[in-house]
Structure 1
Amino acid sequence: MVLLPEPVRVAIDVASNAVWGPWTLALLLGTGVFLTVRLRFVQVVRFREALRAMRPAEGRGVGALSPFQAFMTALGASIGTGNIAGVATAIVSGGPGALFWIWVYGFFATAIKFTEAVLGIRYRVAEGGRLSAGPMHYLKDGLGAPRLAWVYALVAGVAALTTTPFTQPNSMAVVLQSQFAIAPWVSGAVIAVLTWLVVIGGVKSIGRAAERLAPLKVGLYLVGGLIVILAHVTRLPEVLALVVQEAFSMRAAGGGAAGVGMMVALRYGIARGIYANEAGYGTAAVAYGSARTEEPVRQGLQAVMEVFIVSCVTSTLSALVILVSGAWTSGLTSTAAVARGFETVIPTVGGWVVAFCAFLFGYTTLIGWAYYGEQFLSYALGPRVTKPYRWLYCGLIVMGAMGKVETIWAWGDLMNGLQVFPNLVGLVGLSGVAAATLRRPEVSTEPVRAAPPA
């Protein structure tokens, strides 16, 4: 990615824009709306129960992680630098209106992620002492589409291997360089070693790390962000009005057709929104499907809270910080723009807070996605790929830290967009299973199925 020639970079941008065209945006929103109606607005009707579901619990049954560890692994993986850098690039590139579409997709994304979590538990497979979960299993065993399952696993595995080790360390390196003048290759090397120390221990090591780090990073970022917003509170009504106004802007831009402002805001809002909350990727089925529980509804409600925290709390905080502070017009992007916003109120120290949070956000996402990619590629290529994958995953982190910001994020959009399509087919096709499970709050007591004979 570092040495890519200009024509290749342009091709990546073109392909990314093609994948995230109007049809993809309509498909994602349409699926979210369909599932919201099919599940009878579960994210609203059972919100209080979802809040209670976040309490730590050990659980019982087959599974590598406790229900709380599974929740924290999913939350840690989704609350990454996409909530800082991704949201910042959405606002800088798509304008303030992008935040409105992050909210819109976030609301309907809760139903998508609920369905992913429920199906992840219902169709997980125990084989040779290993537990495997993910969309490939509900595509194969639930939908009866083994070829589509294999395609999903391969695309998602390649996406995990070639996006997360690039996007997360890249954003971490950007803010570390801007705040402490640390060379990107140095940041990449340190991040790679720290990631390897956890990833090499497998899913239980990842779950323990996420359980400790996820609450810390969210709490610290919330405190710092609220200080900045409160310091600029007089600008808040103006900013919120601008967000809504720009979300539906029909002005022409650069001589283009009227309405282009709205489409740009919509494109970046949903693309970065899904990057932040991961609803639609299918990763929730891997994390929650690894929980030691027989309660798919409880895990689904935890998934609802995960999206709420990501889209309505951390992502909103990042956007408002750079909007009320004016940092979105500073010429900076990625984590550097958020750091500038913090520094308008907390000079020097504010940038350090963002740097530390970006490090924690990116680190927990790196270790969570390492497990996701391992599950996907093990399904597609066999379990022997696990150890080489772990080493390659960590090695690519150094390259990612040194890449060009715009190209890195365009590649991430492209690969993650490709894995969305087969997953949504499974969610819509099996929405009846999720709805039936929801109507039985006592939850399914079916044991985890053994893998069918070869």
Structure 2
Amino acid sequence: MQFLENIVNQVNGLVWGPLMLVLILGTGFFLMVMLKFMPLLRIGSGFALMWRGRAKGAEDTGEISPFQALMTCLAATVGTGNIAGVATAIFLGGPGALFWMWCTALVGMATKYCEVVLAVHYREKDGRSEHVGGPMYAIKNGLGGRWVWLGTAFAIFGGFAGFGIGNMVQVNSMALALNATFSIPLWVTGTVAMILVGMVILGGIKRIGTVAAALVPFMCVAYVLAGLVVLIINADAIPGAIDLIFTHAFTPIAATGGFAGAAVMAAIRYGVARGIFSNEAGLGTAGIAQAAGTTTSAVRSGMIGMIGTFIDTLIVCSMTGLAIVCSGVWSSGASGAELSALAFESALPGYGGAILTIALVVFAFTTILGWSYYGEKCWEFLLGARAIWPYRLIWVIVVPFGAIAQLDFAWLLADTLNGLMAIPNLISLLLLSPVVIKLTRDYFANPASLQPVTQSR
């Protein structure tokens, strides 16, 4: 077992090493330039389309509204990474890591836009007449039969990674947080989570979309408001915190308090890695959910999809990071969710820790829902529609085991598989980028006359 763990550790170091981070950032920057910075210039349009996308148009095709599709994506991405992941980045890389998370999100908007455009453009209907899409279908239908193996690789990585990073790890975080804050036994959390997850995912994407559309906006707004309270209480420290973030993004930071010190490379590495872990730009997952959204335009879907990265990292993650730095607890020596809890507790004694625990539980629960759909579509691509119900049942059964298990190796393996998903996705993004550029150019040249870009195959 130790031998296997050492191998996975070595692979993980390569997967999430400097080369991969440069590849993800480089791809995002290349796509941003090729799009002439459209994702940044059209943020307002993206939010407007998201708001209008709450209802299905008369000619739109798909299973859920564009708004529900975005909320399903956010359900999967707004999770433990927004609380524990941000704190870990600051613990390892210093306050400057937050700056590099922001940079990752800005270029990630272009990546996410292209992922969604290709997913919707190349989506198809499965045996149940439901729309399916994502990197595996973009590769198959966009690059042709010679590249199907690449789509298969993505589906295998995603199909297995979901059970770890999207299921067991999430419920484990929920159980430990509830046990530490409210003394709720681990098995109780696992059992209740299993029942609630089963009630949702056994109803398929329509029920997942409905629940996500109800929970995600509420949880994001509530968490941001709680974060703003922490910032208001520490208002005097905000200028100094901003200075720390920008200064230490480019200069080393010495050891102070419980903080061990960090070089600039550490700020970049952990800021970028945790930013990607949080918003998943470059991993290709967003397109899987967005492909089920009702639409007649891949470009409109892409503009809605890119807003997910903005909300996830530039809003939600920023609240966590700024709360940690402004409260001064970043140098306490604590890490992960404990560090985030310290930030809230220091501003709201007696309440802050409980607020953060509840936020973590809701975030993790919605992540389980979103990732259940990602994994389902990966296995459907590999085995056909007959795999859907067995997969859903297995997904539900696994939940309580995640609450009571020791998951160090499971986390490591799932993290590695999650990173490996990026390789096929980034290759397809680069090879199919001319398609995205043409669709984007045609749309903005005459959006009213754009014909539906999807069809049943």
Question: TM-score when scaled to structure 1?
Answer: 0.91
Distance 1:234 1:93, change over 3 A: same
Match of 1:158 among 142, 160, 176: 160
Residue 435 (structure 1) shift = 1.1
Partner amino acid for 1:29?
Answer: L
Distance 1:106 1:149 in 2: 25
Distance 1:30 1:178 in 2: 41
Residue 51 (structure 1) shift = 2.1
Structure 2 equivalent of residue 172 of structure 1 = 174
| Mapping of residues 41-120 of structure 1, within 5 Å | 41-55=37-51, 56-59=54-57, 60-120=59-119
Residue 414 (structure 1) shift = 1.3
Could you tell me whether the CA contact under 8 Å between 1:67 and 1:292 is conserved in 2?
yes
| Mapping of residues 21-32 of structure 1, within 5 Å | 21-32=17-28
Match of 1:450 among 441, 453, 456: 456
| Mapping of residues 289-300 of structure 1, within 5 Å | 289-300=291-302
Distance 1:90 1:400, change over 3 A: farther
Unaligned runs of 5+ in 2: 256-260
Could you tell me whether the CA contact under 8 Å between 1:96 and 1:246 is conserved in 2?
yes
Could you tell me whether the CA contact under 8 Å between 2:50 and 2:66 is conserved in 1?
no
Unaligned runs of 5+ in 1: 254-258
Distance 1:12 1:249 in 2: 33
Structure 2 equivalent of residue 149 of structure 1 = 151
Could you tell me whether the CA contact under 8 Å between 2:126 and 2:385 is conserved in 1?
no
Distance 1:92 1:48, change over 3 A: same
Structure 1 equivalent of residue 428 of structure 2 = 426
Cα deviation 1:90-142 (Å, max 9, x = unaligned):
22233222211111110000000000111111000013223211111111110
Could you tell me whether the CA contact under 8 Å between 2:93 and 2:262 is conserved in 1?
no
Distance 1:400 1:267 in 2: 29
SS at match of 2:330: helix
The share of aligned pairs that are identical, in percent, is 38
Could you tell me whether the CA contact under 8 Å between 1:171 and 1:335 is conserved in 2?
no
SS at match of 1:291: coil
| Mapping of residues 205-284 of structure 1, within 5 Å | 205-250=207-252, 261-284=263-286
Structure 1 equivalent of residue 315 of structure 2 = 313
SS at match of 2:184: coil
Residue 242 (structure 1) shift = 2.0
Partner amino acid for 1:18?
Answer: L
SS at match of 1:84: helix
Could you tell me whether the CA contact under 8 Å between 2:297 and 2:452 is conserved in 1?
no
Residue 214 (structure 1) shift = 0.7
Cα deviation 1:250-282 (Å, max 9, x = unaligned):
5799xxxxx972222222212211111111111
Match of 1:40 among 28, 36, 54: 36
Could you tell me whether the CA contact under 8 Å between 1:13 and 1:407 is conserved in 2?
no
Partner amino acid for 2:56?
Answer: E
Could you list the runs of 4 or more consecutive aligned residues of structure 1 that deviate by over 6 angstroms after TM superposition? Answer: none
Cα deviation 1:175-208 (Å, max 9, x = unaligned):
2122112233332222222111101111101000
Could you tell me whether the CA contact under 8 Å between 1:136 and 1:150 is conserved in 2?
yes
Partner amino acid for 1:111?
Answer: A
Could you tell me whether the CA contact under 8 Å between 2:92 and 2:262 is conserved in 1?
no
Distance 2:93 2:346 in 1: 23
Cα deviation 1:398-445 (Å, max 9, x = unaligned):
333345576565444312110000000111111111111111222742
Distance 1:413 1:241 in 2: 33
Distance 2:275 2:24 in 1: 11
Could you tell me whether the CA contact under 8 Å between 1:175 and 1:336 is conserved in 2?
no
Match of 2:327 among 317, 325, 334: 325
Could you tell me whether the CA contact under 8 Å between 2:105 and 2:279 is conserved in 1?
yes
Residue 7 (structure 1) shift = 5.7
Could you tell me whether the CA contact under 8 Å between 1:64 and 1:292 is conserved in 2?
yes
Cα deviation 1:281-317 (Å, max 9, x = unaligned):
1111111111111022221111221111111110011
Identify the range of structure 1 (84-93 vs 145-154) with the bigger mean alpha-carbon deviation. 84-93
Distance 1:229 1:11 in 2: 43
Structure 2 equivalent of residue 256 of structure 1 = none
Structure 1 equivalent of residue 136 of structure 2 = 136
Question: Structure 1 residue 122 and structure 2 residue 124: aligned?
Answer: no
Distance 2:79 2:180 in 1: 19
Partner amino acid for 2:196?
Answer: L
Could you tell me whether the CA contact under 8 Å between 1:296 and 1:444 is conserved in 2?
no
Distance 1:182 1:6 in 2: 32
Question: TM-score when scaled to structure 2?
Answer: 0.91
Distance 1:18 1:445, change over 3 A: same
Distance 1:249 1:411, change over 3 A: farther
Distance 1:165 1:341 in 2: 27
Partner amino acid for 2:42?
Answer: R
Residue 46 (structure 1) shift = 1.5
